[in-house]
């Protein structure tokens, strides 16, 4: 009796692209609504829900294609692969957004950040403000945005895959 082997590559590509598409659509909606400088709380919640959905359904597809079996290792590998594909596509979108679509994005975001710092910390000296803005500026380059986006995608993908894998795991019976 031959067991069917699920393809991590096929599932990761399909569900990773769906995850990327979902989060990009949310980003475009936020941009069109003119809320991209505020980073509304619901954007993060919606992106996280899309990520959970894509990874869980990806793991279900892997389990179904694998004759109903799924180990924790397979769940982690599949979930991370989905997150990697989505992270790469999302990073490409982010890079295009901050360099082509909205090249002033970092400058505008720094100004919004400066205003928030002044409002929330009126006792802050000019020297402290300049130092805080300088640090913030280093993390707002397109390269850093892409890097942190990819790291965040993999981190949250790992957490979601771990939890979903623990819930969904069904080890293959040992043949003696």
Report pTM. Answer: 0.86
Over its length of 176 residues, how does the chain's per-residue pLDDT go in tens digits?
344 567 899 999 999 999 999 999 999 999 999 888 788 899 999 999 999 999 999 999 999 998 889 999 999 999 999 999 999 999 999 999 988 988 888 888 888 888 888 888 888 888 888 888 888 888 888 888 889 999 999 999 999 999 999 999 988 887 76
Backbone angles phi, psi at 70, to 5 degrees: -155, 120
Q: Return the HEC string of the chain.
A: CCCCCCCHHHHHHHHHHHHHHHHHHHHHHHHHCCCCCCCCHHHHHHHHHHHHHHHHHHHHHHHHHCCCCECHHHHHHHHHHHHHHHHHHHHHHHHHHHHHHCCCHHHHHHHHHHHHHHHHCCCCCHHHHHHHHHHHHHCCCHHHHHHHHHHHHHHHHHHHHHHHHHHHCECCCCCC
The whole-number pLDDT of residue 135 equals 84
Confidence (pLDDT) at 176: 60
pLDDT at 124: 83
8 Å CB contact between 99 and 92 = no
Q: CB under 8 Å to 96, separation ≥6 — which residues?
A: none
pLDDT score of 116: 85
pLDDT number for residue 2: 42
């Amino acid at each position: 009796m031959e067991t069917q082997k699920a393809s991590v590559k096929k599932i990761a590509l399909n569900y990773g692209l769906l995850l990327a598409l979902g989060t990009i659509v949310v980003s475009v909606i936020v941009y069109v609504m003119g809320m991209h400088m505020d980073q509304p709380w619901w954007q993060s919640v919606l992106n996280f829900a899309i990520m959970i959905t894509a990874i869980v359904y990806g793991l279900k597809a892997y389990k179904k294609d694998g004759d109903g079996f799924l180990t924790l290792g397979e769940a982690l590998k599949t979930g991370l692969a989905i997150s990697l594909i989505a992270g790469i596509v999302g990073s490409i979108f982010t890079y295009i957004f901050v360099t082509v679509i909205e090249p002033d994005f970092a400058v505008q975001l720094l100004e919004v950040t400066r205003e928030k710092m002044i409002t929330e910390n009126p006792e802050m000296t000019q020297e402290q403000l300049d130092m805080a803005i300088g640090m913030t500026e280093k993390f707002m380059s397109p390269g850093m945005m892409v890097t942190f986006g990819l790291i965040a995608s993999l981190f949250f993908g790992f957490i979601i895959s771990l939890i979903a894998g623990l819930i969904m795991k069904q080890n293959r019976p040992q043949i003696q």
